[in-house]
Amino acid sequence: MSGSLRHVYGWLLLTPAAILLIAFTHYPTVATLVESLFSRGSAIRPSKFIGAANYEAMLDDPVFWEVLGNNLWFALGTIPTSVALAIAMALLVNRALPGRGFLRLAYFTPTILPMIAVANIWLFFYSPDIGLLDNILGVFGLPGHNWLGDPDTVLGAIIVMTVWKEAGFFMIFYLAALQTLPPELEEAAKLEGASRWYYFRRVVFPLLMPTTLFVLVNAVLNSFKLVDHLFVLTKGGPDNASNLLLYYIYENAFSYFDANYAATLTVVLLVLLAIMALAQFFFLDRRIHYR
């Protein structure tokens, strides 16, 4: 095959993936950016170009800042906790334990449950008076609590549920990474008299950094795309105490029918995710490639 034919053949192989990428990623991104520059349209008053007015309105929107703060606290609560639990669970089930296969399945099971099913399970846990948590508190003579109706506890309740669902998913990647480590490393560490903690901190964890980067990027994305659980459990309440950015976008688009403002919020969400993803790559690049 000549060089020119090989070049054409390569582009033909690339074309189906490129069409899907453009149709479902690049075009929607550009269309969202363009729509954010127009006003909300109606049958009487058509949409018109207003430039950055939607972004100015967003900066003056107190609900946006509250939702953004909620999402940052949600990310800080879910990402480190779920990653740390995933590593701990992977280390545990990587050892020779009786019933190790069952334990791995138990850790991974929450991941394969549908999000709506998970939300309904935890709704039973959190229900005031009749829920599992309040019944456990009653055994010890403690009063019940409206976990999802109290602004001080609702976001923490959502964080606990999210960590329960995600930690098992991240565990699979860490378990796969641990099984690729040469056993000679642990044997050499034992001969040198290194403790388990020292071996993990100085040998295992640095070798897990590529997996950690992958997990962190996914954890950040997951922390900003929660909708299903909020729709079932709280609908962003009480008083926006559990409202997160993507759910606020959903509200503006489908409850308030303001697609242009929702597009503005979506652009901000995409920019935030891009900045955080790039920051993770730059911050962890030296540790991954050991420079």
Select from 218, 215, 225, 214 the least CA-distant residue to 269. Answer: 225
DSSP 181-233: S-HHHHHHHHHTT--HHHHIIIIIHHHTHHHHHHHHHHHHHHHT---HHHHHH
Cis before 16? omega within 30: no
Residue 140: DSSP 8-state: T
Q: What is the pTM of this model?
A: 0.89
Structure token digits, residue 9: 């053949």
Residue type, 43: A
pLDDT of residue 122: 92
Structure token digits, residue 233: 């459990």
Helix/strand/coil (H/E/C) assignment for every residue in 70-125: HHHHHHHHHHHHHHHHHHHHHHHHCCCCCCHHHHHHHHHHHHHCCHHHHHHHHHHH
- pLDDT of residue 289 exceeding 80, the answer is no
Task: Give the whole-angstrom CA distance, residue 54 versus residue 56.
Answer: 5
pLDDT one-digit tens code per residue, 223-270: 998 888 888 899 988 899 999 999 999 999 998 889 999 999 999 999
pLDDT one-digit tens code per residue, 201-231: 888 898 898 899 889 989 998 999 888 888 8
Structure token digits, residue 1: 């095959």
- Report whether 45 contacts 255 (CB < 8 A): no
Residues 6+ apart with CB under 8 A from 228: 115, 116, 119
Which residue carries 């590593």 as its tokens? 87
pLDDT of residue 37: 92
pLDDT of residue 33: 92
pLDDT one-digit tens code per residue, 89-120: 999 998 877 877 888 888 888 888 888 888 88
Structure token digits, residue 193: 């008299």
Q: Could you give all domains of the chain from N- to C-terminal order, each with its CATH number? A: 67-289 (1.10.3720.10)
